[in-house]
Amino acid sequence: FDPSVPSQIKELLSPNGLKLFKKTCFGYLLSIPKICMQNQAIYLLMKYELNASGASYFSTELKGQRLNFGLREFVLITGLRCFTEVTDFGYTPDYDSKIMRSYFPNKEKVEKSYLKQIVTNKSWVNDEDAIKLCILYLIEFFICPSDKDNVGLVDHFRFYLVDSRQYATYAWGIESYKQLIESVRHRLNPFVHSYLIRGFTLAMQVWLYECCSTINTDIAIRV
pLDDT digits (tens, 9 = 90+) for 106-163: 888 999 999 999 999 999 999 999 999 999 999 999 999 876 656 789 999 999 999 9
Q: Which of 27, 33, 30, 22 is nearest to 6 (CA)?
A: 30
> 62 pairs with which residues across the strands?
65
| pLDDT number for residue 222 | 52
| Higher per-residue confidence, 138 vs 48 | 138
Specify the long-range contacts of residues 121-129, CB closer than 8 Å, at least 24 apart: 122/12, 127/13, 127/14, 127/16, 127/17, 127/20, 128/20, 129/99, 129/102, 129/103
From the CB of residue 208, how many other CB atoms can be counted at a distance below 10 Å?
21
Averaged pLDDT, 93-99: 93
Domain segments of the chain as ranges: 5-84+98-211
- Gap between the Cα atoms of 54 and 64, Å rounded: 19
